[in-house]
Amino acid sequence: MSDTDLKPRTENKPKTQKPKLYKVLLINDDYTPRDFVVTVLKRIFRISEDQAYRVMITAHRRGTCVVAVYTRDVAETKATEGTDAGLRAGYPLMFSTEPEE
Ligand code: TYC
């Protein structure tokens, strides 16, 4: 088969691609008070008290916990907002993002 017989490589490519998703991770530290972490989680990620407590205590015990998954811009904005809320209050609270597999 010659090169010219090859079908275009894009023939089966979907017209709309699924946007890549990013995890927002909460990182544990030894200084930020637990109730402050819960308050920030509720406000920025719009989750319930119960859910926020569960995320906080998981990060506290394991070192890190996935809070939620978003498109890249939203994930980065929320991670920055969470980290900034800690900074403004004088705590080393930290959120980061990483791409989903
Ligand atoms: N480890 C903190 C404490 O004992 C609480 C905490 C939990 C801080 C989760 C950050 O991401 C965090 N006061």
Alpha-carbon distances of 42 from 13, 15, 18, 24, 38, rounded to whole Å: 40, 37, 28, 14, 6
Instruction: Give the residue extent of every domain in the chain.
Output: 30-99
Please identify, by atom number, the ligand 1 atom nearest to the C-alpha of residue 33: 13
Give pLDDT, residue 54: 98
Please identify, by atom number, the ligand 1 atom nearest to the C-alpha of residue 65: 11
Give pLDDT, residue 7: 56
pLDDT in tens, 3-41: 455 555 555 666 788 889 999 999 999 999 999 999 999
Residue 96 pLDDT greater than 50, yes or no: yes
- Provide mean pLDDT across the span 82-94: 98
Pick the CATH number of 30-99 from 1.10.287.70, 3.90.550.10, 3.30.1390.10, 1.10.260.40: 3.30.1390.10
Residue nearest to atom 11 of ligand 1 (CA): 28
Alpha-carbon distances of 43 from 15, 83, 85, rounded to whole Å: 37, 13, 10
4-8, 25-29, 42-46, 76-80: which range is least confident on average?
Answer: 4-8
Average pLDDT, the chain: 91
- Provide mean pLDDT across the span 44-51: 98
pTM of the model: 0.86
Give pLDDT, residue 20: 94
